[in-house]
Copies of this chain bind each other. A is one copy, B any other.
Amino acid sequence: MKLKMMYSFLNSDINIIEKALEETIETESLLLRQASMHTLKAGGKRIRPVFVLLAGKFGHYDINVMKDVAVALELIHMGSLVHDDVIDDADLRRGEPTVKAKWDSQTAMYTGDFVFALALKLMANIEKPAAHKILANTMVEVTVGEIQQIKDKYRFNQNFRDYLRRIKRKTALLIAASCQLGAIAAGVEEAVHKKLYFFGYFVGMSFQITDDILDFTATEKELGKPAGSDLLQGNITAPVLFAMENEEIRKEIEKVHEHMAPLEISNIITLIKQSGAIEKSVALSDQYLDKALAILEEIPANKAKKALRDIARFIGRRKF
């Protein structure tokens, strides 16, 4: 089942968000407009907006209010991807050239700054102090996580604690914030929006672990970049950490460096896949997914709850 079909009852609102995203990045600067539109059109699952909208369904859902929050969260996500591509010196994302590759690092930096600022402009329409505090805290954590990720590259003596803390900041916190802010914007009571926060957090952890698994198991076509790219760039993810529990594989993995030959890295990927590390990583992802689903049981039933459950399962177990 496709993600879009899964939230079919949101469909017209998803289209509103898509249109609002395009309208928001309109600016007199041709360069900023083109670079932002390029990033927007490169796609993405729009998971954050969907979570914003679904969380809003637990309160007074007004699409004109929800729209601002949904677009803001997607823009923050977009901005962080654009900045990440500068750091990773990445030329491709989802099979498309990155802003950094199509233009340059400078343009990528200001495009990121621009979409961040646009997000704040939209969020400023939400006159709920708690929302601003949560968003600002999230953005601080995300940035600390990003710099940590640079420092942790090729650092083979890191452990699961390092990894989990990194993906929390890199991915889970913004998904958690999407759920919580959607709920707050719709006036959902604190007891419920806090649960939605934890739901988003656990889904986000499961989502990122799955992403990290797919870097090994999916094809280049599905990924839009060569398999094993994360490892080649020095990102030590769950499958790598599990594989390194075997001393011999660990020695091989420790040889990984930026300019490793394709055949060599391909051999190491095979070693990791044969080590049982993928299965262990799937189990880890499932643990988070189960926690997410359990929390969902504690909040009132409605149509959105079913959709949240389906989407959580989908993104935690997707094939690409």
Contact = CB atoms under 8 A, between A and B. Distances in A.
A105 B107 contact: no
A232 to B, nearest CB: 18
A147 B114 contact: yes
Given A28-B144, A144-B27, A136 B117 contact: yes
Given A28-B144, A29-B144, A32-B144, A136 B120 contact: yes
A129 interface: yes
A133 B147 contact: no
Nearest to A31: B147
Interface residues of A, number: 42
Contact of A121 (B120, B136, B142): B136
Interface string A124-136: 1101010011011
Interface string A63-94: 00000000000000000000100110000000
B151 A137 contact: no
Contacts of A120: 120, 132, 135-136, 139
A140 interface: yes
Contact of A86 (B109, B114, B140): B109
B106 A121 contact: no
A121 to B, nearest CB: 4
A13 interface: no
A96 interface: no
A141 to B, nearest CB: 8
A98 to B, nearest CB: 14
A47 interface: no
A146 B116 contact: no
A27 B127 CA distance: 29
A116 B147 CA distance: 14
Nearest to A89: B106
A32 B169 CA distance: 15
B137 A121 contact: yes
A156 interface: no
Contact of A129 (B32, B86, B127, B147): B127
A109 B109 contact: yes
Q: Which of A123, A125, A143 neighbours the largest number of chain B CB atoms within 10 Å of its CB?
A: A143
Q: Which 10 A-B pairs have the closest CB atoms?
A: A117-B139, A120-B136, A121-B136, A124-B132, A117-B140, A124-B133, A114-B143, A127-B129, A124-B136, A113-B143
